[in-house]
């Protein structure tokens, strides 16, 4: 009896020891898997998967831009390159990178490549993070601006340090955010962004619509030749937009201007010339309230660009745009793009000739 009890205790002890070893082994495997996942994303190895399989929707700018950055880091393009940064107003102002590149090349007298790193609702923090991940080079960083690009809070930009929404992080953005917001992460590295992306991928591809796992072709534009909203709808929209934006602008403009200045300095450190340009704005955005808002925004931008000597390209006064050139308040359709592109190209070519 005593011997049997001893054997049972020994067996139980062995099982407990074995379970502990299994748990330790499982933990080590989990850590190794997470480390591998971090390397896969941070190192840009994800580009081995075709982008068309990773897009969640045809207009998935964040996946598209993440792939572009990974490829640029792997194979830096020969100079000169014009990189575009901005929000949806920048995306919708040209028909394509190639069309703008051809127009700049004609004006500059030399072949120029255009790479758009703009994305819908791109914040200034995301612009800084993108520049932080560019390879050193020679060329031009063209940063599109508008009042609604200066409304994001430090808290919303802090998510980018964990790889959301873009698959990259940025020490320079972290430096600007330090002291403005808590930088504690839920998970190390880019893992929070990875899991956020996985959940949104499942949601977009499988849950909110019928299963759709076939390749998706990326589409840069929401609008081509329309639809163009009525004048009455645009007038209602601009009033709603102004009421929404102005409090956010007042609360966050100082932070966003600091990020903009950091983007200029970082771009120059990497060898590039930097210029600003104002994104298109529908002519219905008028009246005393909008005029005062735009005047304050332009004065704020000048307080950054002036001391740093940043050229500021202004296209709209010469473009002759009217209601039918805009789908809504901010986004051009093709007829507007065709009036905007040659003027923007001329301004960009001039900056390139003078210092790019």
Q: pLDDT tens digit string along 68-95?
A: 999 999 999 987 899 999 999 999 999 9
Q: In the chain, pLDDT over 90 holds for what percent of residues?
A: 60
Query: Which residue, chain included where needed, has tokens 């002890």?
Result: 13
Confidence of residue 193 (pLDDT cuts 50, 70, 90): confident
Q: Are 197 and 40 in contact (CB under 8 A)?
A: no
How much is the pLDDT for 165?
A: 93
Q: Which of 350, 296, 282, 349 is nearest to 114 (CA)?
A: 349
Nearest 5°: CA angle at 116, between 113 and 122?
160
User: Residue 189 pLDDT > 90, yes or no?
Assistant: no
Q: Is the pLDDT of residue 249 over 60?
A: yes
Q: What whole-number distance in Å separates Cα of residue 130 and Cα of residue 141?
A: 11
pLDDT at 332 over 90: yes
Helix (H/G/I), strand (E/B), else coil: 329: coil
What's the whole-number mean pLDDT along residues 181-201?
A: 80
Taking the complete model, does pTM exceed 0.85, yes or no? Answer: yes
The rounded distance, in Å, linking the Cα atoms of 104 and 114 is 9
Q: Is pLDDT of 101 > 70?
A: yes
Residue found by looking up tokens 């080079």 in the block: 137
Residue 15 has pLDDT above 50, yes or no: no
Q: Over range 164-186, report the average pLDDT.
A: 90
Whether 30 shows a pLDDT value over 70: the answer reads no
For strand 273-278 and strand 312-313, is the pairing parallel, antiparallel, or unpaired?
parallel
- Confidence bin at 224 (pLDDT 50/70/90): confident
Among the residue ranges 36-45, 78-87, 101-110, 301-310, the one predicted with the least confidence is 36-45
């Amino acid at each position: 009896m005593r011997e049997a009890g001893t054997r049972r205790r020994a067996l139980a002890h062995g099982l407990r020891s074995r379970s502990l070893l299994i748990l330790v082994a499982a933990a080590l495997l989990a850590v190794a898997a997470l480390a591998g996942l971090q390397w896969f994303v941070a190192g840009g190895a994800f580009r081995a998967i075709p982008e068309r399989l990773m897009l969640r929707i045809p207009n998935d700018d964040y996946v598209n831009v993440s792939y572009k950055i990974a490829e640029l880091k792997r194979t830096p393009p020969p100079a000169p390159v014009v990189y575009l940064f901005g929000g949806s107003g920048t995306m919708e102002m040209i028909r394509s990178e190639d069309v703008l590149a051809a127009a700049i090349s004609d004006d500059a007298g030399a072949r120029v490549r255009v790479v758009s790193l703009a994305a819908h609702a791109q914040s200034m923090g995301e612009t800084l993070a993108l520049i932080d991940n560019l390879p050193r080079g020679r060329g031009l960083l063209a940063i599109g601006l508008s009042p609604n690009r200066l409304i994001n809070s430090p808290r919303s930009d802090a998510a980018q340090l964990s790889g959301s929404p873009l698959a990259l992080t940025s020490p320079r953005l972290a430096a600007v955010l330090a002291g403005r917001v808590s930088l504690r992460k839920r998970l190390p590295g880019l893992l929070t962004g990875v899991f956020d992306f996985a959940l949104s991928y499942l949601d977009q591809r499988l849950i909110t619509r019928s299963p759709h796992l076939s390749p998706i072709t990326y589409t840069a534009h929401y609008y081509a030749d329309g639809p163009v909203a009525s004048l009455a709808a645009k007038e209602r929209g601009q009033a709603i937009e102004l009421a929404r934006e102005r409090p956010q602008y007042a609360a966050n403009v100082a932070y966003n201007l600091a990020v903009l200045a950091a983007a200029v300095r970082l771009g120059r450190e990497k060898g590039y010339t930097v210029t600003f340009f104002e994104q298109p704005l529908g002519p219905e955005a008028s009246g005393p309230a909008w005029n005062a808002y735009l005047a304050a925004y332009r004065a704020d931008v000048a307080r950054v660009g002036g001391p740093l000597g940043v050229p500021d390209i202004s296209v709209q006064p010469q473009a002759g745009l009217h209601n039918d050139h805009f789908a809504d308040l901010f986004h051009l359709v093709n007829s507007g793009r065709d009036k905007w592109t040659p003027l923007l190209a001329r301004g960009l070519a001039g900056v390139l000739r003078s210092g790019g």
